[in-house]
Structures are given as structure tokens and as C-alpha cells.
Amino acid sequence: MIENTVYQFAVPTMDGEEVSLNIFKGKVLLIVNTASDCSFTPQLNELEQLRQAYAAEDFEILAFPSNDFGGQEPLENNSLEQCYRGTFGVNFQIFDKIRVRGVYAHPLYKFLADKKQNKHVSAVPRWNFHKYLINKDGVVTDFFYPFTKPTSSRLRKRIDKLLKQLSPI
């Protein structure tokens, strides 16, 4: 079932293609809106630490750069990817820059933020590094505000719990 899951969405890659999120079926996902020039930007390093900690598990981090908050993501395409991969050394999925709030928000983010659509949480990103946790079935299960560090025990416990759950997919 794709309805009420993130699998119903396609998202833009850095090379201008669209990729369906159903390529991540059966994995726990942490979806994060990011920015390279924000006080929370050191979380990129922590997100990479989290990725490494769960490298042997069915877990993926999906980063969506956004310039929605204070113009803190001025970079585009290759510059953006070079910054994230070179400066911050991240190896998780980085997608093309999108809008994450407001009328022009990408449909994925409209879904993530709206309980009427996702059936579980109501949480519009208030700043960069807002995090959504998705179970192996593509269902939004939780969210974390920007001040919650990716390496926090609270977040890791939730990831561990979701990884232990069996998926009917």
C-alpha cells in the first residue's frame, strides 16, 4: 500500500532526475531538511555518525537541502553536493534543494507535516534540521525538532525499535 506512505512520492536528485521513494521500501528512514550555513549545520557531522552507526542495518538518511529558513542554504547543485560531501564528509543521500514549508512546499513535505495526510504526526518544520522518522512500511512515526541531535539516545532508541519491527513488505 503506497497511500499514506512516503512511497507515493518522487523527489529531485542533484542531477535533475526524479527518483521514487519506494526504492527505500523495507528501510527505516530519517528525513531531514538541511542547510549549509546554519547554527545547526554541525548536525551534518552527527547525521554521518548516525549513518555509520547503522551502516549494517536497513536504515537510510535522506537529506533535503532547503533555503526556507533565513536564506541559510545559498548553495545550488554541484556546489551544494561538494560542500556536504567535501566539507562535512557526509555519505548519506542528498537530494536537490526543495521548499519544505508554505504553499510552495514539495508534496513530500506537505505530507510529512500534515496529520490529515500522513495519519500520524502534525509537525511543520520550524527551522533547518527538522527530522521525520519513517518505519519500514513508509509510515511517518515520529518527528524531532532541530535541537534534537541526530546522535541523541532518544532518537537512537526510536530507530532501534523500528529496526526490530518486522515489515509485511
Active site (catalytic) residues: 38
Alpha helix segments (H runs only) across 15-152? 43-53, 77-82, 107-113, 115-118
- Looking at the chain, the number of H-run helices and the number of E-run strands are 5, 7
CB-based contacts of 3, cutoff 8 Å, min separation 6:
none
Task: Look up cell 546522535; give the residue.
Answer: 151
Q: How many other CB atoms are there within 10 angstroms of residue 114's CB atom?
A: 16
State whether residue 122 is helix, strand or coil: coil
DSSP lists the bridge partners of residue 60 as 29
Q: How many other CB atoms are there within 10 angstroms of residue 25's CB atom?
A: 17
